[in-house]
């Protein structure tokens, strides 16, 4: 929490980064249903799940794209505590370009529930590490996030 709000705002974006990294496992190349994919931290926390990606359905699209339905991504810290959960009913992921996008809804919530972001239409650019939410962005921040900042001079 001390690292600031952006940590939580972008935590969901990290999942796409992780999904595209060498260390992560990507969903199956073919059609899959009710799949789950996990990636792990590097040593000495190699036994801890870093990111869990699941979906109701994953289908390959032309151009090497992957369409994921009912995407759910959860990130964890090294102690196993949930940091953020991202949900998107539909997402298109381009592994080679490191781009994930959707015209649909995106919802992100931190593990402690203190921050919630949602909007319609998103684009994650992995190379630039930028998450754009295109429409109707609503960020709800719990009051006690700010109370933690009161210790600032």
Partner 1 sequence: MRKIIFLLLAVAGGMVVAQTNVPPQNVPPHQPTVISSDSADFDLGTNRAIYRGHVLVVDPKVKMQCELLVVDLPTKGEHLQHVSAETNVVIDFMDEKGQPYHVTAALAVYAYGVVGSVTNETVTFTGKPRVESAESTILSEPLIWDRAANKFHFYNEQMYFKQNISGGGGTNGIPKLY
Whole-number minimum distance, CB 129 to partner 1, in Å? 4
**Contacts of partner 1 in 71-130 (CB under 8 A):** 119, 128-130
Asked if 131 touches partner 1 (CB under 8 A), the answer is yes
Binding mask 8-47 for partner 1 (x = CB under 8 A): -xx--xx--x------------------------------
Whole-number minimum distance, CB 150 to partner 1, in Å? 6
List, in order, residues 6 or more apart from 68 with CB less than 8 Å away. Answer: 27, 55, 57, 58, 88, 90, 91, 92, 93
Nearer to partner 1, 17 or 32 (CB): 17
Q: How far is Cα 46 from Cα 117, in angstroms, rounded to an integer?
A: 30
Whole-number minimum distance, CB 43 to partner 1, in Å? 22
Largest CA distance in the chain: 54
Nearer to partner 1, 10 or 56 (CB): 10
List, in order, residues 6 or more apart from 139 with CB less than 8 Å away. Answer: 9, 115, 116, 117
Given the structure tokens 């992100």, which residue do they identify?
A: 108
Q: How far is Cα 133 from Cα 88, in angstroms, rounded to an integer?
A: 12
Q: How far is Cα 29 from Cα 128, in angstroms, rounded to an integer?
A: 25
119 neighbors 134 (Cβ within 8 angstroms): yes
Whole-number minimum distance, CB 5 to partner 1, in Å? 6
Nearer to partner 1, 22 or 151 (CB): 151
Nearer to partner 1, 6 or 96 (CB): 6
* Residues near partner 1, by CB under 8 A: 2-7, 9-10, 13-14, 17, 119, 128-144, 146, 149-150, 152-153
């Amino acid at each position: 929490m001390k690292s600031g709000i952006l940590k939580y705002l972008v935590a969901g974006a990290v999942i796409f980064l992780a999904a595209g990294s060498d260390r992560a496992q990507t969903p199956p190349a073919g059609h899959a249903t009710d799949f789950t994919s996990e990636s792990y931290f590097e040593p000495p926390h190699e036994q801890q799940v870093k990111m869990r990606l699941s979906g109701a359905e994953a289908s390959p699209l032309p151009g090497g794209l992957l369409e994921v339905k009912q995407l759910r991504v959860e990130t964890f810290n090294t102690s196993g505590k949930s940091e953020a959960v991202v949900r998107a009913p539909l997402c298109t992921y381009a592994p080679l370009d490191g781009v994930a996008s959707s015209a649909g809804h995106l919802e992100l919530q931190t593990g402690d529930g203190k921050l919630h972001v949602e909007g319609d239409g998103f684009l994650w650019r992995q190379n630039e590490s930028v998450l754009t939410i295109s429409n109707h962005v609503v960020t709800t921040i719990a009051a006690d996030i700010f109370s933690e900042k009161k210790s600032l001079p």
